[in-house]
Amino acid sequence: MSALPDGLEPMDPLTWRTVVARCLLGSTVKLVAYTLANYASSDGSDVRPGEALLIKDTELGERTVRDALTKLREVGLIVRTFHASATGLRDKADEYRLTFPEDLESRVPMWDPKRRRITQGGEEMAPPAPKTRQKRTKAPATDAGGSEGAPPASPAGGPVENGSESVENPVGDAPENPLPGGNHRQLLPEPPATVTGTTGNSCPPPSHAPSQSPSQDSGFSPYGAEVEGETAERCEPSADLDYPTAFKIVNQVLSRIPAYTEAIRAKAAAKGRDSPRGEALTIAVARLVLADHPELTPERRTA
């Protein structure tokens, strides 16, 4: 393994995803980052999907994917360990490694673990304004048989000059007056409907209520996340644990993930099998966590 630049530390893909989630990088850069993590080894190395595969997975353009990779390298979240084009091997893919810079909070704005405030370099920043879709306005329609150079219509009830004749403009054709004081009505999106059913798995999706506060365990990583939810009922761990549930579980013991991943790799090597990656690795780690910490078993929502 080649030496990393000063100030950068290697990081496993599970913890790295949690760190990226807190960074304000833009949705496009985050999509490329999460896709990269799917191809990383358990220690964050051997990331070489290639730009062509990233374009297919993210459904983004070539230039957009390249700009996202450049941004991730600039902030120190990835390091290019093999530059294929620089060596003349254009048919090979560049190789990256997932990293964590010690001064990341001074390089990019970041949410605190509870997503309540944003800081950069020790200074608090205002949250970004939510993006809203602007309502398109239609161009005013012209009357049949009219010409582009026709004079504008007069106010409601007023006469319209037409040569030597004066015709009263019908009130029904007059435009509506705007609301007083510029109080125009605005269409607001309706809140999404709440789904109370289960996904069909033996263990339904966990509620957003954490089963254990991070402050109760000194081994919790500062890059965890807490969210609020409704009262839930505990259910037993299932063999067919799904990825969203597994990610919630391992997110509560981030500091212990390297030990669990090493145990999984050793067990796979002893059986002559390849070590799991991506979502399969997350689910395998979650099962070990539940075996050691049954109190972290996901919870079932109650009516």
Q: What is the pLDDT of residue 240?
A: 66
What is the full DSSP assignment across 122-135?
A: TEEEPPPPPP-PPP
Q: What is the pLDDT of residue 92?
A: 83
Structure tokens at 68: 């996202």
Treating both helix axes as pointing N-terminal to C-terminal, what angle do 27-38 and 62-74 enclose, rounded to 10 degrees? Answer: 80
Between residues 94 and 85, which one has the greater pLDDT?
94
Between residues 278 and 48, which one has the greater pLDDT?
48
pLDDT > 60? residue 208? no
**pLDDT tens digits, residue range 110-169?**
999 899 999 998 899 988 877 777 777 776 665 554 455 555 554 444 554 444 444 444
What's the first-to-final CA gap in the chain, in angstroms? 53
- Calpha distance 253→219 (Å, rounded): 7
Section 189-201 average pLDDT: 47
Q: What is the pLDDT of residue 152?
A: 52
pLDDT band at 286 (very low <50, low <70, confident <90, very high): confident
Q: Is the dihedral of CA 224, 229, 231, 234 positive or negative?
A: negative
